[in-house]
Chain A
Amino acid sequence: GENVEQHPSTLSVQEGDSAVIKCTYSDSASNYFPWYKQELGKGPQLIIDIRSNVGEKKDQRIAVTLNKTAKHFSLHITETQPEDSAVYFCAASLEAAGNKLTFGGGTRVLVKP
């Protein structure tokens, strides 16, 4: 089955700096890669996703890149703000197989004011 590794497990950045989180996956058939933000005591919130037919996607301060050959994808947050502090999870799935998500271990991001 699919295995997703996520790094780093914790990330501390100064407000205004960029944050980068990287994930690798094992199943080359996976074709859907969402990123979720989870605040303390709440459910995960979808912040951006990418499908394997594109290499990059951007939404304001958030961008995701995908390298299918190397089987890794990354989340980039620019101009970080204190409200970006949360746990971020990457995931991978094969849409044709019911889109069952396999999650990475999570990255705890702390943005220091």
Chain B
Amino acid sequence: GAVVSQHPSRVICKSGTSVKIECRSLDFQATTMFWYRQFPKQSLMLMATSNEGSKATYEQGVEKDKFLINHASLTLSTLTVTSAHPEDSSFYICSARDLAGGRDTQYFGPGTRLTVL
């Protein structure tokens, strides 16, 4: 299957700082990427849909000014958690939509563990 990478894999930051997470599709182009949040022993919660060259679409209850998304190229989307607080600590996972060959499949990155002190 297609490969999606995330960087960093884990990050620890102080409360009030901003953290940027990168999501890259390594062997395919993705006009659409998705950002999820996952709490321990829970399912994935969709935060936003990232579209190359346009504004992201946020799910209800997700603050767009807190979770800034930029999809500047067909292989890279970034999520910036601004003014992070301990309650933002979570596992953040991205996925990229692969439309090559007539299929429509989502491949997930390995996730980023964010800990806010």
A positions within 8 Å CB-CB of B = 32, 34, 36, 41-46, 49, 89, 95, 98-101, 103-106
* Chain B contacts for A42, CB-based, 8 A: 110-111
B97 at the interface (CB under 8 A from A): yes
B67 at the interface (CB under 8 A from A): no
Closest chain A residue to B32, Cβ basis = A98
CB pair A99–B104 under 8 Å, yes or no, is yes
- Assembled-state Cα–Cα distance A43/B6 (Å): 10
Chain B, 91-117, CB within 8 A of any chain A CB: 93, 95, 97, 104-111, 113
B11 at the interface (CB under 8 A from A): no
CB pair A99–B97 under 8 Å, yes or no, is yes
CB pair B111–A49 under 8 Å, yes or no, is no
Interface majority SS on B: helix, strand, loop or mixed?
A: strand
* Chain B contacts for A106, CB-based, 8 A: 42-43
Could you list 20 A-B pairs, sorted by A, with CB under 8 Å?
Answer: A32-B104, A34-B106, A41-B111, A41-B113, A43-B6, A43-B93, A43-B111, A44-B108, A45-B1, A46-B1, A46-B106, A46-B108, A89-B44, A95-B104, A98-B32, A99-B97, A100-B34, A100-B49, A101-B34, A101-B46
Chain B, 1-47, CB within 8 A of any chain A CB: 1, 4, 6, 32, 34, 42-44, 46
- Shortest Cβ gap from B29 to chain A (Å): 16
19 new A-B contacts, CB < 8 A, other than A43-B109, A101-B46, are: A32-B104, A34-B105, A41-B113, A43-B4, A43-B108, A43-B110, A44-B93, A46-B108, A89-B43, A98-B32, A98-B49, A99-B32, A100-B49, A101-B34, A101-B95, A101-B106, A105-B43, A106-B42, A106-B43
